[in-house]
Chain A
């Protein structure tokens, strides 16, 4: 997996400037700006309807924002991904970028075996040797703790946690530099969640990934994220280092959010 560019410490990997998206009169997200540095994991939290998924979709190119720029480090220069040509943008989406959906069914091909799901991205970037594709798929299934004898099973035969791990393997196999995650642990029970978080944390550290994680679960960002952005009504109300924001929340809404977590 030696596909990462060496991080250049003086330029951010991703730079978002003044991103705004409205749905008619309603605001999706408004005037969001931040930088993401290589190897950094950014968490975006907020309640339902606070615009975090809209923001993520705009950054990943699934939605077209009304105004703003999404600059990505391509070969040392920052380029606006919103003005890239469609072939370039789609190529980015299957090489340097990855997107982990909340529901694994949105990100997987349910009619194709686990091995085929992982191999698809390899074949999409030109791999044409069956043995190699299979070996790399097997390697990745092993890394996400899916048993080798499940390789030729379809994801329909997998549990929710396994589907989510398969989706992660499928996304990381081409060694992306930036991963977008939309509630990666949503809908999983807590013990499965814990294992998935453990796995994600290991992979992120090991591969030096940069990631943007959208979630409403503060425990997830506490474990994974270096920095945190809190959104309310489409606007960023507070951002800073994760521990700082969670231990000493400044904005009233963040204080409410932190104090709402159930203590067991």
Chain B
């Protein structure tokens, strides 16, 4: 650990990123450009989130890293060990014990509290990108609050599929002003964006940071006659029986047998430890 500066990045870089974070917090939902650094991992693996994380960490922090809700997948394990080695901070898998949580495309089921920081990895920060590819034009549209185009996307969804088929990266309006891409979290998590924790979004390749201060009003876009619906698979978790969590569908054999499990491993394990039992456990017991 002595070979690296605390949390890998040098102090000047952290200072630059902190300034971007402060600006992002001051203008919720606004994409602040920052000078993204080359990180010892490929773009698309969370370089933005890692840089924001490095600038946010202090030695007293307790770190949790999740990837699609799980603490034990490749991306989560390697980022956690990266900061264990370069920052020497404590790590945990329990949502409630963590002070800083880095997440890839999920918000933990356990409600976050004041004092916690949630850092997202963002692949494409610009919600208007797919309809208006010109960055100069989308910036102007943000500046002038011209967001009709975002509804064109939702219109197309309904015209083609009968309902708003966008299931992840569902666009939101922040404090009645900026339209924001909440990173590819499932739309089930959108209501949780209205949170007591600080939420920071880092896009490394796109060089943008944006943020939601605690208790920011976040509204998912919709039509009056097609209201927003945070959908969820209509099953209980097979391991813990939870009916209020976001589920992964897991194929268990070649015959197409499947089971639905909580995507948040910490939440699921916590419930099992508390004695809750799903169909799979009850059958085995």
Contacts and interface: CB of A to CB of B under 8 A. Distances in A.
Interface of A: 86-87, 90, 109, 111-113, 115-116, 119-121, 123-126, 128-131, 133-134, 151-152
Given A129-B224, A129-B225, A130-B226, A124 B148 contact: yes
A152 B223 CA distance: 18
A125 B152 CA distance: 12
Contacts of A86: 140, 144
Given A128-B224, A130-B225, A120 B152 contact: yes
B156 A123 contact: no
B41 interface: no
A151 B54 CA distance: 50
A90 B146 contact: yes
Contacts of B146: 90, 124
Contacts of B140: 86
Nearest to A115: B159
23 contacts: A87-B144, A90-B144, A109-B131, A109-B152, A112-B131, A112-B152, A113-B159, A116-B152, A116-B159, A119-B152, A120-B148, A120-B152, A121-B148, A123-B155, A124-B148, A125-B148, A128-B151, A129-B223, A129-B225, A130-B155, A130-B223, A130-B224, A130-B225
Contacts of A116: 152, 155-156, 159
A119 B155 contact: yes
B158 interface: yes
A133 B155 contact: yes
A116 B157 CA distance: 10
Given A123-B152, A130-B226, A152-B159, 8 more contacts: A86-B140, A112-B156, A116-B155, A121-B148, A124-B149, A128-B224, A129-B223, A130-B158
Contacts of B159: 113, 115-116, 134, 151-152
Contacts of B149: 120, 123-124
A220 to B, nearest CB: 32
Interface residues of B, number: 17
Interface string B131-152: 1000000001000101011011
Contact of A123 (B151, B160, B224): B151
Main secondary structure of the interface of A (DSSP, over half): helix
A94 B155 CA distance: 19
Interface string B213-239: 000000000011110000000000000
Interface string B107-151: 000000000000000000000000100000000100010101101
Contacts of B148: 120-121, 123-126
B94 to A, nearest CB: 42
A42 B226 CA distance: 43
Contacts of B144: 86-87, 90
Contact of A113 (B151, B160, B224): B160
Contacts of A120: 148-149, 152
Interface string B197-227: 0000000000000000000000000011110
A109 B148 CA distance: 13
A128 B222 CA distance: 8
A126 B145 CA distance: 11
From B140, B152, B224, B226, residue with most partner A Cβ within 10 Å: B152
A86 B160 CA distance: 35
B129 to A, nearest CB: 12
* List of 10 A-B pairs having minimum Cβ-Cβ separation, nearest first: A124-B148, A123-B148, A130-B223, A123-B151, A129-B224, A87-B144, A152-B159, A116-B156, A120-B152, A131-B225
A131 B226 CA distance: 9
